[in-house]
Amino acid sequence: MMTYLVDELVDADLVERKPAPEDRRVRRIVATAQGREALADAERRVAAVEEAVLGGLTAEQRALFQNLTYQAACLIHEQDPVADSCRTVSEALR
């Protein structure tokens, strides 16, 4: 599944596979200039939506909202291995 996703990102010129310097058999997935631009654009758009939705909250209220949102997501996915990384992110937001 991951190979198909990376293939699509390569086809879209968002990433490229580069040989790892320590082992030519290993390929690293590296963002292209277009990929970095697309990521920066997505980050700006997410920030704008967050500001539109959470703009009326204080910094403390935003932090609480984000923490509770991550906790809720982790509870929903508690049977999923991703849940451990969710808890790590949630704890980092505290």
Q: What is the pLDDT of the chain when averaged over all its residues?
A: 87
7 is written with which tokens?
A: 């293939």
How confident is the model over 49-64, as pLDDT tens digits?
999 999 999 999 999 9
50 is written with which tokens?
A: 């967050």
Q: Tell me phi and psi for residue 24, to 5 degrees.
A: -60, -20
| pLDDT attached to residue 89 | 54
How confident is the model over 9-46, as pLDDT tens digits?
999 999 999 999 999 899 999 999 999 999 999 999 99
Q: Tell me phi and psi for residue 57, to 5 degrees.
A: -95, 155
Once rounded to an integer, what is the mean pLDDT over residues 75-94?
62
Question: Which H or E run includes 16?
Answer: strand 15-20
Contacts of 10 (CB under 8 A, 6+ apart): 16, 17
Q: What is the pTM of this model?
A: 0.64
| Environment class of 10 (CB within 10 Å of its CB; exposed 0-12, middle 13-18, buried 19+) | middle
